[in-house]
Amino acid sequence: MVERDPIEVFDGRQSEAAAEIQRGACRYLRTLGHSVITELPLASGHRADILSLSRAGDLWIMEIKSCLADFRADHKWPAYRDHCDRLFFAVAPDFPMDILPQETGLIVADRYGGELVREAPEHRLAAARRKAVTLRFARAAALRLHTMLDPGAVEV
């Protein structure tokens, strides 16, 4: 497995449309009381577009799809189930939602906010995996905050 630096936030591949969906989906998750982190490298080598952590410790992943071509080109989304309790797609209001898999949740978002269209089925993580993903979330969030506060800090 490839370990990626958890501080990595943006690598230039995200479109403006995806950034707007991300912003709105994160705002929606915050209204639910979730803490969110974006572009989080997972132990599998994949990167979660959005990972949220509820007050109860539930982990949700949102896979952003900015257009139909983006969805059709991506075959890795089922692997995200191994890192969360619930898996969602987050799309813009004009996305053809009927093509999205029914075994995932659905959030529709724009730059101002989001709305739950379909609840995601729950598939609880094993305790060891939950701990590993939660620690990855916490470390990445802390490192990103510290880097904002002290951009000249030495990485080890």
What sign results for the dihedral spanned by CA atoms 154, 134, 108, 75?
positive
DSSP state of 105: E
Residue pLDDT, tens place only, 134-154: 999 999 999 999 999 999 887
| Strands 86-91 vs 105-110: parallel, antiparallel or unpaired | parallel
> What pLDDT does 156 receive?
62
> What pLDDT does 60 receive?
98
pTM of the model: 0.89
As a whole number of angstroms, the distance between CA 27 and CA 34 comes to 10
Average pLDDT, integer, range 88-97? 97
> What pLDDT does 86 receive?
98
Residue pLDDT, tens place only, 28-37: 999 999 999 9
As a whole number of angstroms, the distance between CA 13 and CA 24 comes to 19
Residue pLDDT, tens place only, 95-126: 999 999 999 999 999 999 999 999 999 999 99
Q: How buried is residue 70: exposed, middle or buried, by Cβ count under 10 Å (0-12/13-18/19+)?
A: middle
